[in-house]
Structure 1
Amino acid sequence: MHGYQIKVNKGIFRKIMGLCFVISITLFAQTERWVYKYNGSGNADDIAVSITCGDDGNIYAAGQSRGNGSGFDFTIVSLLPDGTERWVYTYNGPGNADDIAKQIVYGLDGNIYACGHSVGATGSDDFIVISLTQSGAERWAYRYNGTGNGSDEASSIDFGLDGNVYAAGYCYSASSYQDFMVTSLDTAGSERWTYIYNAGQYPGTDFARSIVCGSDTNIYAAGQIYNWVTLEDFAMVSLRPDSTVRWVGLFDGNTITPPDYANAIAYGLDDEPYAAGLVASGNGKPRFTILNRLNDGNYDWVYSYQGSAVLRDEAYVITYGADHNVYTAGYTTNTGTARDFTIISLTNDRVFNWIYLFNGTGNNNDEALDVEYGLDGYIYGCGICLDVIGQENLLVVRLDTSGTANWTYKYQGNGGAADRANSLVFGSDYNLYVAGYASDSISSFDFVVISLDTIETGIEDGFIQYQQTYNCWSASAFFRNQIALRNPNVTDRELKVAIYNIQGQKFYEHRQKHNSPQILIGGKSIETLPSGIYFIHIVTEGYSGGRIIKVIKF
Structure 2
Amino acid sequence: MIRRNFLKFIVSMGLILTLITLMLPCSILAQPPVEEWVTTYNGPGNDSDEAEDIALDKDGNIYVTGYSYGDDTDQDYATIKYDKDGKEIWVKRYNGPGNGTDKAYALALDKDGNIYVTGYSYRADTGSDYTIIKYDNNGNEIWIATYNGPANGEDEAQAMAMDEDGNIYVTGHSDGIGTHRDYATIKCDKDGNLIWVARYNGPANGTDHDCTIALDKDGNVYVAGESEGIGTGADGAIIKYDKDGNEVWVARYNGPANGYDRFCAIAIDKKGNVYVAGESEGVNTGRDVIIIKYDKDGNLIWLARYNGPKNVNDGVSCIVLDKDENIYVTGHVDEKEELGILWDSLTIKYDKDGNLIWVARYNGPENLRDDTCCIAFDQYGNVYVAGASEVSDTDCDYITIKYDKNGNEIWVARYSAPGNTEEEANAIALDKEGNVYVTGGGEKSGSDYATIKYSQIVEITPMECFEVNFVKARDKKGAKRDQIMIIGSLKLAEEAMPFDPEIDVVTVAIDGKQITIPAGSFEEKNIWRLHYYRFKGDVDDVGRVHMHLDFDKCRWWMKIRGKDTSDLVESDGGTVELSIGTNVGEDSFEWTRKCKTRWAGFAKFIEWPPIRCCTIWP
Which residue is equivalent to 1:382?
Answer: 386
1:361 corresponds in structure 2 to 365
Contact 1:161 / 1:213 at 8 angstroms: preserved in 2? Answer: no
Q: Which runs of 5+ in 2 are unaligned?
A: 1-19, 460-491, 500-505, 510-537, 546-615
For residues 73-129 of structure 1, give each alpha carbon's deviation from its aligned partner in whole angstroms, at most 9, with x where no partner exists.
Answer: 111111111211111111000010111111111123432111111111327211111
**One-letter amino acid of the structure 1 residue matched with residue 349 of structure 2:** S
Kindly indicate whether the alpha-carbon contact (under 8 Å) linking 2:312 and 2:336 is maintained by their aligned counterparts in 1. Answer: no
Aligned residues: 464
Kindly provide the CA deviation profile for residues 23-63 of structure 1, in whole angstroms up to 9, marking residues without a partner as x: 79663421111101111111111111111112343211110
Residue 47 of structure 2 aligns with which residue?
44
Q: Would the aligned equivalents of 1:181 and 1:194 in 2 still touch at CA under 8 Å?
A: yes
1:115 counterpart (91, 115, 118): 118
Equivalent residue, structure 2, for 1:324: 325
| 1:31 match | 34
Counterpart residue number, 1:219: 221
Distance 1:224 1:505 in 2: 52
**CA 1:379 to 1:270, structure 2 compared with 1: closer, same or farther past 3 Å?**
farther
Structure 1 residues 256 and 267, CA, compared in 2 at 3 Å: closer, same or farther?
A: closer
The aligned amino acid for 1:277 is G
Measure the CA separation in 1 of the matches of 2:343 and 2:27. Answer: 36
Cα deviation per residue 1:435-485 (whole Å; 9 max; x = unaligned)? 112799xx711101100113279xxxxxxxxxxxxxxxxxxx9999xxxxx
Q: CA separation in 1, counterparts of 2:443 and 2:198?
A: 40
Matched, 1:417 2:421: yes
Structure 1 segment 195-210 matched on structure 2, within 5 A? 195-198=198-201, 202-210=204-212
1:371 aligns with 375
The share of aligned pairs that are identical, in percent, is: 29
Unaligned runs of 5+ in 1: 1-16, 458-476, 481-498, 507-524, 533-551
C-alpha distance in 2 between matches for 1:280 and 1:505: 51
Cα shift readout 1:506-549 (whole Å, capped 9, x = no counterpart): 9xxxxxxxxxxxxxxxxxx99889989xxxxxxxxxxxxxxxxx
Stretch deviating more after TM superposition (20-29 or 94-103)? 20-29
- Is the aligned partner of 1:346 residue 2:354? no
Is the aligned partner of 1:408 residue 2:401?
Answer: no
Question: Aligned in 2, Cα 1:478/1:38: closer, same or farther, shift over 3 Å?
Answer: farther
Shift, 1:501, TM fit: 4.2
Q: Which amino acid aligns with 1:340?
A: D
| Partner amino acid, structure 1, of 2:306 | Y
Q: Does 1:448 align with 2:443?
A: no
* Contact map agreement 2:126 2:148 (CA 8 A) in 1: no
Alpha-carbon spacing, 1:22–1:185, altered in 2? closer, same or farther (3 Å): farther
User: Within 5 A, what are the aligned runs for 1:43-62?
Assistant: 43-62=46-65
> Shift of residue 202 of structure 1?
3.5
After superposition, the Cα gap between the structure-2 partners of 1:95 and 1:346, relative to the gap in structure 1 and judged at 3 Å, is same
Matched residue SS, 2:97: coil
> Are 1:394 and 2:398 counterparts?
yes
Q: What aligned pairs does 1:25-424 form with structure 2 within 5 A after superposition?
A: 27-122=30-125, 124-198=127-201, 202-254=204-256, 256-257=258-259, 259-283=260-284, 285-335=286-336, 338-387=342-391, 391-424=395-428
Aligned partners of 1:435, 1:354: CA distance in 2, in Å?
27
After TM superposition, give the deviation of residue 256 of structure 1 in Å: 3.7
CA distance in 1, matches of 2:539, 2:73: 53
CA shift in 2, pair 1:478/1:135, >3 Å: farther
| Displacement of 1:21 | 6.7
> Is the Cα contact below 8 Å between 1:223 and 1:263 reproduced in 2?
yes
Contact 2:378 2:430 in 1 (8 A): yes
Distance between the aligned counterparts of 2:24 and 2:52, measured in 1? 37
| Residues 416/22 of structure 1: CA separation in 2 closer, same or farther (3 Å cut) | farther
Per-residue deviation at 1:68?
0.5
Q: Distance in 1 between matches of 2:56 and 2:315?
A: 28
Query: Which AA in structure 2 matches 1:213?
Result: L
- The whole-number CA distance in structure 1 between the counterparts of 2:102 and 2:330 is 27
Task: List per-residue Cα deviations over 1:358-394 (Å, max 9, x = no partner).
Answer: 1112212110111111234210000111236763111
Which structure: larger Rg? 2
**1:31·1:456 contact (CA, 8 Å) conserved in 2?**
no
- 1:222 Cα deviation from its structure 2 partner: 1.0
Check conservation: 2:279, 2:315, Cα contact below 8 A: yes
Higher strand share: 1
| Partner secondary structure for residue 131 of structure 2 | strand
Is the 8 Å Cα contact of residues 316 and 369 (structure 1) preserved in structure 2? Answer: yes
Determine helix, strand or coil for the equivalent of 2:76: strand
Aligned with 2:151: secondary structure?
A: coil
CA shift in 2, pair 1:56/1:182, >3 Å: farther
AA at the equivalent of 1:233:
D
Distance 1:158 1:178 in 2: 22
CA RMSD of superposed structures (Å) = 3.4
Residue aligning to 1:465: none
Question: In structure 1, what is the Cα distance between the partners aligned to 2:408 and 2:280?
Answer: 27
Supply the distance in 1 between the matched residues of 2:231 and 2:508 (Cα, whole angstroms). Answer: 73
The residue correspondences of 1:510-525 to structure 2 (distance < 5 A) are none
**Equivalent-residue separation in structure 1 for 2:150 and 2:47 (angstroms):** 34
The one-letter code of the counterpart of 2:440 is G
Change (3 A) 1:22 1:128: farther
